[in-house]
Amino acid sequence: MLLHIIHFRYIDSMTLHSEPKLENPKMPGIPKGNVTPLARRLLVSADLEGDANGLASQQEVSSLHTSLQETMLPSYDLAANERKQATAQLLGQTDVQGIETLAPELQTLPSSIQRLALEVDGLWGDADGNVSVEEIDRVAQYYLSALPFFTPEANDLLELAEHLKLGGEQAASQTHTGQPKKAPSVMALRVALAKVDEAEIEDAKPFRELFDEAIEEAEVAGAPELLRDAAKHNPKWHRLSILEHTGAAVRAAHNLCDFANVDWKDAGGAMLLHDVGKILERQVRHEGDSTRFSFWDHEEDGAKWLEERGLSDELVFQIHHHSVMRKKSVDEMVALAGNDDDRLARMVIVYISDQLGKGDTPDQVNSFNQQRPKLVTLANRAGLDGEALLSHAEQLREQWY
């Protein structure tokens, strides 16, 4: 379950010509006119909790309704009552045939690919039952940023792209100008996957299992935007959603470690897990007529959660302290690292990776620039070339955002 936010408009999905359309006399596809966006997302959640076959059945909607009534929902879930009411209404609308969550042509896909199509559209897109170029490209970019952690899903995504004639030389759908529609990140993902070896995939599995556990624990049915919308993160400092920031931080760690000739495996795992505390908890802040989220103590909370699940002491340490460099002096950082230059080098790379993953908001760039002299000094103290490392990080930010 990982680059800058793509500001996109959703477009109509292309039609597959190899399969006949299936007709449902009661519900021919998702009726956009009388099913709200919230209801569409709830239907997707119900289907994903069930068999993910492109139809939200009566039983699946009923199970979701029961779960929403009985489960203690997080305090930051401001729309909980609205979702409960919407699910009750859906339950009354769902007949024995169910309500479509995927367009009929997508219901003919292999089951694993069908589930992925449902996630791409329903969790990352507009939940209209179709998979657009922009939706699949956004997810491809997320997987690409965090390879090898998402290798299985990335392979499935390429198969989905093949079914939809997206992202490859055979792209059949056309824009209004007559030019083929392509998803550039899908093509880049194909190239990157060819370079991932089995050892990397095996090394990634323990980190990914912890990440998935956090997602499963925190995912709110019908509200995928909590983890996938930058506006639900902290827009002052973050250009990206929580999940996409995580992917970008992994990508940054890989790049910085390669540049510094440092093994990247542990740094990559640390960045995949560094914001688990944000995934699991947040605080609501009311400021006048607006409401936003904060993530106080997410470093400590995430580190404690991971420690309880057996993550190594060193990675727990790195995650616990991944943001303290902004507040501490050079001497304090050296002392925190126990005068261990190798540990300090990892702390520097983890901190810069996190900062790169935030994007290029004005406040973020200004803060990073203010910290630059201290980061150079700490990197040099740890045996790295501080000026070269920071210059490389700034070049990456220019390229990515």
Task: Print the domain residue range for 296.
Answer: 229-400
Q: Indicate the number of domains in the chain.
A: 2
Q: Are residues 58 and 163 in the same domain?
A: yes
Per-residue pLDDT in tens (0 to 9) along the chain, 401 residues: 333 333 322 223 333 333 333 333 334 444 444 689 999 999 999 999 999 999 999 999 999 999 999 988 898 999 999 999 999 999 988 887 899 999 999 999 999 999 999 999 999 999 999 999 999 999 999 999 999 999 999 999 999 999 998 865 544 444 444 445 778 999 999 999 999 999 999 999 999 999 999 999 999 999 999 999 999 999 999 999 999 999 999 999 999 999 999 999 999 999 999 999 999 999 999 888 888 999 999 999 999 999 999 999 999 999 999 999 999 999 999 999 999 999 999 999 999 999 999 999 999 999 999 999 999 999 999 999 999 999 999 999 999 99
Q: Are residues 163 and 255 in the same domain?
A: no
pLDDT digits (tens, 9 = 90+) for 219-243: 999 999 999 999 999 999 999 999 9
Residue 221 lies in a domain: no
Q: Are residues 189 and 244 in the same domain?
A: no
Residue 25 lies in a domain: no
CB neighbour list of residue 141: distance below 8 Å, 6 or more residues apart: 3, 6, 185, 244, 247
Q: Which of 165, 193, 221 is the last residue of a domain?
A: 193
Q: Are residues 233 and 189 in the same domain?
A: no
> Residue 374's Cα: distance from chain center in Å?
31
Are the beta carbons of 149 and 253 closer than 8 angstroms?
A: no
pTM (predicted TM-score): 0.89
Q: Are residues 157 and 251 in the same domain?
A: no
pLDDT digits (tens, 9 = 90+) for 85-139: 999 999 988 887 899 999 999 999 999 999 999 999 999 999 999 999 999 999 9
Say which residue the tokens 């106080």 belong to: 296
Other C-beta atoms lying within 10 Å of the C-beta of residue 197: 9
